[in-house]
Structure 1
Amino acid sequence: MSALVLTASAAMAQETQTQPAATTDQDATELDKVVVTGSLIPQTTLETFKPVTVITADDLQARGFNSVQEALNQSSMATGGVQGNQSSASFTQGAETNSLFGLPVGYTKYLIDGRPMANYPALYNGTDTFNNISGIPVDLVERIEILPGGQSSLYGSDAIAGVINVILKKRMDGTALTARVGGYHEGGGQSTRLSLADSFSFADDRGTVLAGIQYEMRDPIWAYQRDLTKQFNQHPLDNPNNPNDGVPVASRDWLVFSPFTSYNFLDPNNCENVSDAFGGTTGVQTRPARPAPYCGSMYTPGYRTLRNGKEATQLYSHFTFDISDNTQLYADALYNRETVDYHIGSNFTWWGSSVKWGYFYDPNLDDFFQLQRAFAPEDMAGGWEQSMNHDKSESYAYTVGVNGTFGESNWDYDVGFTRTQYTLNENSWARLADPINDWFETNIMGPALTNPDGSLMLDPYFGAYQVYTPDYEAFYQLLPAGAFESFTTRTVNRSLTYDDMLRAQITNGSLFSLPGGDAGIAASVEFGKEKWKYNPDALLIPDPVTLQSEIWGTTSVSGQGTRDRYAVTGEMRLPVWEPLTISLSGRYDSFDAGGRTIDSPTYSVGLEFRPIESLLFRGKFGTAFRAPTLSDMFQGVSGFYSSVRDDLGCSQAGFDPDEAGCPQNLEAAQYFGTQQGNPDLEPIDADVWNAGVVWAPTAKFSVGVDYYNWKIENETVLQSAGRIMRDEYDCTSVANGGSGLLDPNSGTCQAAFDAITRNALGALQNISLTKINLAHRDVEAVTVALNWGQSLGAWGDLNVNGSWTRNLKHDSQTFPDDPTLDLVYDEFYTTDPRYKANASVSWSKDALTATLYGNYIGPTGNNVAFITSVPTAYGRNRGVGSYTTFNASVNYDFTPDFSMSFLVTNLGNRMPDMDLTYDGLTGSPYNTGNYDVYGRAYFLEARYLFNRD
């Protein structure tokens, strides 16, 4: 009888330190015992109660994936959109990660050879700890294993959405030299990748060493190199809820704005003196419902990077030495050095008088004004490259240990020490607050007017704003030589994480006999110490009281903390009956941080039932958790810029809180926010279960279906700015524009009043937020995986693989009395697809192999459905259609030692469908979290083996 064959959802065996996984179609009873991802006990069964998706080294190459992140991002289970290279001005624009099943990126545990990766020192979206996977050398990867569902009973904290184990090569058949070059059909992104790896034995084959190096260089892709992103949306549909919809609008690169008279055009030269800006595209522009024009360009969105430039080097080595037949020393080391270059875009490269003065009063015009001015490449002596950002990082992980067997017994042991460390230096372009304000005050605004007694003159209406009589003609000018350099600089934020872990494990795969076979047991104990430190440049560190810094318009995350931890883990595998195996595991984790102990026990019960050899029913129920991260607990007062609906302001302007049509400056009121950690946070808890079936009627065909369910409680969230704004509205009396529903002396009202700061005109300025344990979510999903192989006789061999994931439910609630948000079917709360799939067809004959790979993203909601709760003709209808791309590769082995491949990604040069419900203010009318505009790319790869045995 044939064993269940390996499928796309099968549990691929992980190599042990002593022998590789079996790769033949032998009966399961003849396979060597190996350790599979998701278990500590060596076993012969490839399929277990835990479904594992496997991406092999051959898959990575044949499907055209350029990195581990690309391969994982196109997994059908990666249904969640994430911030990445296309996310202008995000906190971690230089990092790469993924979201399984739409869950937060920090809910996935990443391992390299079964050991946890170092956390990225910067925080995702400025608040969450996660793993950056951009530095894994793809040429040195043996395979990637994706284990979905809660796995904390074996792997501890963070393993709520699942575990991803990247397994690196352990042996080479000779010295392998690989070179890949490529570029994009639409321009940009030219890349070169070189790798060299070799392994050898010594001391009569008692010792083995593998060493490898990978080097990669890649040019950035700029938005101006793509038609969809080089300018503002030229085809917006009319939306009566937004006055800027229906027409394309240019950026406000030189603008004089009044809160009372709106736009004021005060340039006597009609933008002639700035017409050379942004490549000669600047001129007189208008916007609907505005009383005056301004100077701007349609093409400023093109001045940002869509994909980072990159230069990276990775070094890897694996070492084993057999001291005796029962004892082996081992060591592994991986080092990564990486520099990424990117530009946040012209939208974030500007100056405005509002940051220092709010408004100023001009007595000659009897009005209050703000000045706003973008910086163009023509303002900079070095062009746009002058304001690029450069993130430089180094990470390493090393493990040393010993494993073996106790005498002639069945008891194995493994004791090892692992250290991971990640350092990050973010070298960023910055505007110096005092010099930039001084320059514009001296050259544009003129001196502040004073009273006869020498005191500053204030406006006659509010007595709160300084008085200026600017030279408006001088405002509408390009900067003179040297001006830009006089008020800009570069800052370097330095941050690091490290994790030390001492781990000991004992295992017995044949503890005693049961009717279904040998019972197995494993137990481990580990001790560790972790640290996170984020140290912004001295110029960026805000005063915790005034929240001011020496950098204009920019703030930063700050904080540091350490914790000690230990964990005890146990697992049993019980084949109680030939068709039935029960697996049990439990773990206890304890963290000592900030003078308090945080602990969490977790457990798991798994079942495998095989009524016949070709059919497997499987299921698991368990618990999972995520301990408060060091940043959750110890993040200092950190700033950010965002926008929120000003409910009180809208009400005072005559609009109910949920009514459409509120003025844009109130509908999306800009504010400076502050956030900080909370040392009293508790762990996030989850109950997770899955059930599935795998059918393998032949050795070359199998299909698996699995269902997953998460109930996650006590989630850590940042207080909701929108909720605080609504509390302020409900706490304010009807006479002052509020609803008066809440007692203004209550704790809720006092907290809202304390969190919000407004200026003398009542405009929103600051909101202070902290992290709390309140949210919960329920998630359900189903996956299908298929594998089919067919011999075509003289015509070669055919192999087909496919996987499909459907999100069935994703309900989230932040506060106990909040409505439950539907993150699957209600497009106001989600932009993620409900389903995603991929498939590959590979044909091989003799020395030739050809592969066609397709990646499918299901329909998603359009933009107008996501940004407004008011139903429109364009919302609530999955307005953006499905999206499919194809990769193709041809590989030919010229000799046993030399082969070449030609690969094309995005074969049809498929671009995202333009979402016409974006207004004319966007330069990327598509969802950047789900799609990219890179287009077709070509790669040529050569591989040469020499010094073979």
Structure 2
Amino acid sequence: MHVNTLKRSRLAVSLMAALLAPAAFAQDAAPAPAEDATNLDKVTVTGSLIPKTQLENFTPVTTISAEDIKARGFTSVADVLQKSSFSTGGVQGGQSSASFTQGAETVSMFGLDPGYTKYLIDGRPMANYPALYNGSDTFNNISGIPIDLVERIEILPGGQSSLYGSDAIAGVINIILKKNMEGGALSVRGGATSDGGGDSFRVSLAKGFVGMDGRLNVLAGIQAETKDPIWGYQRDLTKQYNTHGYSAPVAGRDFLVNGYSNFAAEGFANPDNYGYVFADPNNCANTTGQFGGSTGLRERAGFGQYCGSFLSPGYRTIANGKDAAQVYTHATFDVSDTFQLYGDLLYSHEETEYNVGAGYTWWGTSAKYGYYYDPDLDALVNLQRGFAPEDVGGQGFRDINSTDKSDSYSITFGGKGTWGAWDYDLSASRTEYRLKERSWARWNDPINAYFEEHVLGPDLGPDPVYGAFPTFRPDYAAFYQPISPADFASFSGFTNTKSKTWDNMLRAQFTNSALFTLPGGDAGLAVVVEGGNQGWDYSPDPRLIPDPVTLESEVWGTTSVSGAGHRTRYAVTSELRLPVWEPLTVTLSGRYDAFDAYGNTVDKPTYSIGLEYRPVESLLLRGKYGTAFRAPTLSDTFQGISGYYDSVTDYTRCADAGFLPGNTDQCDYDSEQFFGTQSGNPDLEPITADVWNVGAVWAPTRNLSMSLDYFSWDIRNEVDLQSADQLSLLEYYCNSGQLDAGSPSCQNALSWITRDTNGAIESIYTPKVNVAKQKLRAITASVNYMVDVGSFGSLSFAGNYTNTLDHTVTPLPGDPEIDLLRDPYYMWVYDAYAKTRADLSVAWAKDKWTTTVYANRLGKTPNYQAYTGRSFDFVNSAGAKAGWWAPYITYNMSVNYAALDNLEFSFMVNNVLDKTPENQASNFPGTESEPYNSNVYNAYGRSFFVEARYKFGQ
């Protein structure tokens, strides 16, 4: 193999010094000898295919080293990326109850969809997660990557499709695993939280092997980890209904009879007759053992009495439990001086457990009957019965935890070498991801039959007013009773859903770093050809598939998505690097991608032009313009008609009852159940984008570098899938004349929401169509500084900052632009991202000690009243004001001690000040069980970790 060695510029030396600062701290604080900093081998960095001497080029690359990961207290790859300054968007995951992918973790770069980021492991695409984010979108789960085996993580913001193809709109994240090691390393780590739950233990072992006179090199590693879940009852903020809200806390409606009284005389004509009917002859005496003895007689002002507990929200997990293990091997064999064989294998097994909680563990008559008529009460009513841990028996809700088990692997074999002036790399790769979801379920017919037999009694015929509702004379004393664990088990159990994705790829790359000579140096060319196939198969438990006529499944209150398909794909990529003269380099790249699914071909060419200008040795001016795209995903194309049950605030009916948006917590239509449907669309076109960036890097000294970059995205043909809450609120604004009822958005909202004869929401349809577009403008900045303080050791500072300057969305052609920075309602709808995000680390090293303090700042986000009132000037009837939640800052700290040359101990505290979003609770009503935005914040609090690392065989 030939190696090119050239002198470094001051810019390259400064950047290398800053990047390697943490590694240097583990050794000696003295500066490196001058002769060690004069030569720099050509390296390949994310964002270019051609090796070069500069570490910075026309697009910024943020590198997070293994030393950074450890020093800053990051516990996983997901933790690293979710704390990145580029991660301004909120995401669903283990902290979100009843999300579609509660067992997975992901990131939103610049507030864009998680699927807009391309994830690579060692430069090769990761396998997609088989389940769909938010029930509709393909994405990557980043929870199963062994963090102890990570060498570094490179984050490349901006559109990168001209090199990496589909999905690379927001940016590219390349996770680079270790490739060689002298001897071996054993690491043991344990952790706990201040308030209980989340205890963790992790062990990893890696060993390097050399054989056959140095021609064979192997690195093998394994990591195993276990982590307990965190339950809501282990945190003050989540253990009960909101006790710090602008209204009094309201207990869960665990035993509730509600509806219309005086029904035979007035029907639905008098809405004032709507409320709770308390029908328990024992005044809740038989229910007091529920939820640990906290259930009792409650009253909701304006509605009536019922039996309920204030503590039921605590019976859910707010952080997943996990058992995981990964195995990794990298091997090379030098066949000759110019040819090398290599192979990589990464296998991951992961089991996550979680519980959706008491809020999703209930039964009611509304699902089957809508209402029923009780002649003794002269009321049209519904029953609602929440289940408690005592009903479950055994370990309570722990016995009905859902479990996601996944097995994934990535395997690559290839050979690389040189042929004349050309380097080549030929490889074959396969990735596969298999997922098994075991989810707690209520069986539809058995649970209805149980309550019909024990509570409702026989159907006595249609109601006397409309003839549309059944008539029952229930045994209410039997309704207000605990259920035995045996009875609970008779109508509940678990569903088992299986799914998988796979991707096969053949890849050939040819590179010439000295194709010809220009005044500024050697021109370089890289050409890549790829071909393969990929597939997706989501096969839910057959009992979850809804009947096409009744729209009901065998599982009460739950249905599932299904779909399967595969396609072939191929791509051709080229990159040409032209050092036009010494200060100026131009880089051109282009790519053509094609996807063929059963004869239906979708293709897209993309290109980019990058400029690097160095007027002086220490200053780089850079810019890039290019195009990016996202091909229709397999789920976008092949997802079958999927249904789901959910609840939504019926803003139209609430407004008719006098409760306007932002003041619906006392409205009894604030949680109306509906049946939702969505499906794939085989005629979808690629999402396209024009993306450009311009910036500068300044490195005036060896130990200081700064960068500032501006990014712009214009994204078109987005696949839009609106939320049910968004459609319900939009329907209200259209009906009330606040929006043009003739606009496309209003027309869709009015047609996609179906109401029954009584005006209640029955179903909501959210199809996938290429209609939306986005505009996004942002700046990023970074600084790295090292200083030698003599006998006191050395200090290093590293900071990163992102500011979204402008972000608009146009959901449908003809609609006005929605300003996501100034419209608080849509800031929540689009996953509630923050306008700014920043981080700063300060590291001190002396002798055998290193200490790092890391601060992460999430910028302000709109509060709950701003969301519900859709205005920052809104004040609800209780005096709660719309506005912003202040910037949210957390601190991590670590101390490392090198006891011996081969033994190191570390102590880390994450969230040192025990920060939680408890101050947000006052802006939520007392009916809220999660008084903060869980897509952005969490209530985990402080955690501690101790770690020992032993190196051997060196």
- TM bin (shorter chain): over 0.9
Check if 1:287 corresponds to 2:339.
Answer: no
Percent sequence identity over aligned pairs: 54
| Cα-Cα RMSD | 2.6
CA distance in 1 between counterparts of 2:366 and 2:34 reads 71
Tell me the alpha carbon deviations over residues 444-469 of structure 1, each in whole angstroms, 9 at most, x when there is no partner: 111112xxxxxxx1111111111100
Check if 1:564 corresponds to 2:568.
Answer: yes
- In the alignment, is the contact (CA less than 8 A) between 1:10 and 1:54 conserved in 2? no
Corresponding position of 1:801? 798
Tell me the alpha carbon deviations over residues 543-572 of structure 1, each in whole angstroms, 9 at most, x when there is no partner: 234321100011111111111111010100
Check if 1:80 corresponds to 2:89.
Answer: yes
Q: Sort the Cα spacing of 1:79 and 1:738 in 2 relative to 1 into closer, same or farther, 3 A.
A: closer
Corresponding position of 1:509? 513
- In the alignment, is the contact (CA less than 8 A) between 1:419 and 1:498 conserved in 2? yes
Corresponding position of 2:789? 792
Report the AA paired with residue 306 of structure 1: I
Pick from 264, 270, 273 the counterpart of residue 286 of structure 2: 273
Corresponding position of 2:165? 156
Report the AA paired with residue 181 of structure 1: G
CA distance in 2 between counterparts of 1:10 and 1:710 reads 30
Q: Sort the Cα spacing of 1:894 and 1:3 in 2 relative to 1 into closer, same or farther, 3 A.
A: same
Tell me the alpha carbon deviations over residues 679-714 of structure 1, each in whole angstroms, 9 at most, x when there is no partner: 000000000011111110111101111111101011
Matches for 1:40-189 after TM superposition, within 5 Å: 40-189=49-198
Check if 1:346 corresponds to 2:358.
Answer: yes
TM-score, with structure 1 as normaliser: 0.92
Which deviates the most, 863-872 or 892-901?
A: 863-872
Pick from 338, 345, 352 the counterpart of residue 333 of structure 1: 345
Which deviates the most, 30-39 or 467-476?
A: 30-39
* 1:888 Cα deviation after fit: 0.9
* 1:879 Cα deviation after fit: 2.6
Corresponding position of 1:810? 807
Pick from 880, 883, 900 the counterpart of residue 885 of structure 2: 880
CA distance in 2 between counterparts of 1:583 and 1:834 reads 32
- In the alignment, is the contact (CA less than 8 A) between 2:665 and 2:927 conserved in 1? no
Q: Sort the Cα spacing of 1:685 and 1:29 in 2 relative to 1 into closer, same or farther, 3 A.
A: farther
Q: Sort the Cα spacing of 1:631 and 1:575 in 2 relative to 1 into closer, same or farther, 3 A.
A: same
Q: Secondary structure at the match of 2:141?
A: coil
CA distance in 2 between counterparts of 1:698 and 1:300 reads 59
CA distance in 2 between counterparts of 1:940 and 1:672 reads 48
Matches for 1:621-770 after TM superposition, within 5 Å: 621-644=625-648, 646=650, 649=653, 653=656, 664-666=667-669, 669-718=672-721, 755-770=752-767
Q: Secondary structure at the match of 1:412?
A: strand
Corresponding position of 1:432? 443
Q: Sort the Cα spacing of 1:881 and 1:588 in 2 relative to 1 into closer, same or farther, 3 A.
A: same
CA distance in 1 between counterparts of 2:434 and 2:34 reads 45
Report the AA paired with residue 801 of structure 2: W
- Length, aligned pairs only: 914
Q: Sort the Cα spacing of 1:751 and 1:815 in 2 relative to 1 into closer, same or farther, 3 A.
A: closer
Report the AA paired with residue 361 of structure 1: Y
Corresponding position of 2:930? 924
CA distance in 2 between counterparts of 1:191 and 1:849 reads 24
* 1:205 Cα deviation after fit: 0.7
Matches for 1:764-913 after TM superposition, within 5 Å: 764-830=761-827, 831-869=832-870, 871-873=873-875, 878-913=883-918
Pick from 941, 946, 953 the counterpart of residue 935 of structure 1: 941
* 1:727 Cα deviation after fit: 9.4
* 1:881 Cα deviation after fit: 1.2
Check if 1:2 corresponds to 2:7.
Answer: no
Report the AA paired with residue 772 of structure 2: A
- In the alignment, is the contact (CA less than 8 A) between 1:108 and 1:160 conserved in 2? yes
CA distance in 1 between counterparts of 2:643 and 2:498 reads 17
CA distance in 1 between counterparts of 2:432 and 2:581 reads 46
* 1:523 Cα deviation after fit: 0.5
Corresponding position of 1:191? 200
Tell me the alpha carbon deviations over residues 774-794 of structure 1, each in whole angstroms, 9 at most, x when there is no partner: 000110111110000011122
* 1:269 Cα deviation after fit: 1.2
Report the AA paired with residue 77 of structure 1: F
- In the alignment, is the contact (CA less than 8 A) between 2:744 and 2:813 conserved in 1? no
- In the alignment, is the contact (CA less than 8 A) between 2:608 and 2:624 conserved in 1? yes
Report the AA paired with residue 12 of structure 2: L
Q: Sort the Cα spacing of 1:752 and 1:827 in 2 relative to 1 into closer, same or farther, 3 A.
A: closer
CA distance in 2 between counterparts of 1:128 and 1:88 reads 18
Q: Secondary structure at the match of 1:249?
A: coil
CA distance in 1 between counterparts of 2:662 and 2:215 reads 76
Q: Sort the Cα spacing of 1:24 and 1:462 in 2 relative to 1 into closer, same or farther, 3 A.
A: farther
Matches for 1:162-311 after TM superposition, within 5 Å: 162-237=171-246, 246-259=247-260, 260-290=273-303, 292-311=304-323
Report the AA paired with residue 943 of structure 1: R
Corresponding position of 2:530? 526
CA distance in 1 between counterparts of 2:768 and 2:560 reads 17
* 1:749 Cα deviation after fit: 10
Corresponding position of 1:479? 483
CA distance in 1 between counterparts of 2:599 and 2:663 reads 49
Q: Secondary structure at the match of 1:386?
A: helix
Q: Sort the Cα spacing of 1:606 and 1:730 in 2 relative to 1 into closer, same or farther, 3 A.
A: closer
TM-score, with structure 2 as normaliser: 0.92
Corresponding position of 2:41? 32
- In the alignment, is the contact (CA less than 8 A) between 2:201 and 2:225 conserved in 1? yes
Q: Sort the Cα spacing of 1:355 and 1:228 in 2 relative to 1 into closer, same or farther, 3 A.
A: same
Report the AA paired with residue 825 of structure 1: R
- In the alignment, is the contact (CA less than 8 A) between 2:18 and 2:786 conserved in 1? no
CA distance in 1 between counterparts of 2:454 and 2:881 reads 51
Report the AA paired with residue 155 of structure 1: Y
Q: Sort the Cα spacing of 1:321 and 1:875 in 2 relative to 1 into closer, same or farther, 3 A.
A: farther
Report the AA paired with residue 214 of structure 1: Q
Corresponding position of 2:423? 412
CA distance in 2 between counterparts of 1:236 and 1:740 reads 31
Tell me the alpha carbon deviations over residues 402-424 of structure 1, each in whole angstroms, 9 at most, x when there is no partner: 11111xx2101111011000010
List runs of 5+ in structure 1 lacking aligned partners: 14-22, 238-245, 450-456
CA distance in 2 between counterparts of 1:897 and 1:6 reads 29
Tell me the alpha carbon deviations over residues 656-678 of structure 1, each in whole angstroms, 9 at most, x when there is no partner: 99897798345664321100010
* 1:750 Cα deviation after fit: 9.7
Check if 1:551 corresponds to 2:560.
Answer: no
- In the alignment, is the contact (CA less than 8 A) between 2:739 and 2:746 conserved in 1? no
Q: Sort the Cα spacing of 1:591 and 1:639 in 2 relative to 1 into closer, same or farther, 3 A.
A: same
* 1:504 Cα deviation after fit: 0.7
* 1:161 Cα deviation after fit: 0.3
Q: Sort the Cα spacing of 1:26 and 1:709 in 2 relative to 1 into closer, same or farther, 3 A.
A: farther
Tell me the alpha carbon deviations over residues 182-205 of structure 1, each in whole angstroms, 9 at most, x when there is no partner: 100111111000000001111111
CA distance in 1 between counterparts of 2:340 and 2:663 reads 70
Q: Secondary structure at the match of 2:359?
A: helix
Corresponding position of 1:17? none
CA distance in 2 between counterparts of 1:153 and 1:357 reads 56
- In the alignment, is the contact (CA less than 8 A) between 1:623 and 1:687 conserved in 2? yes
- In the alignment, is the contact (CA less than 8 A) between 1:331 and 1:400 conserved in 2? yes
Which deviates the most, 818-827 or 782-791?
A: 818-827
Q: Sort the Cα spacing of 1:801 and 1:747 in 2 relative to 1 into closer, same or farther, 3 A.
A: closer
Tell me the alpha carbon deviations over residues 507-529 of structure 1, each in whole angstroms, 9 at most, x when there is no partner: 00000111111000000110021
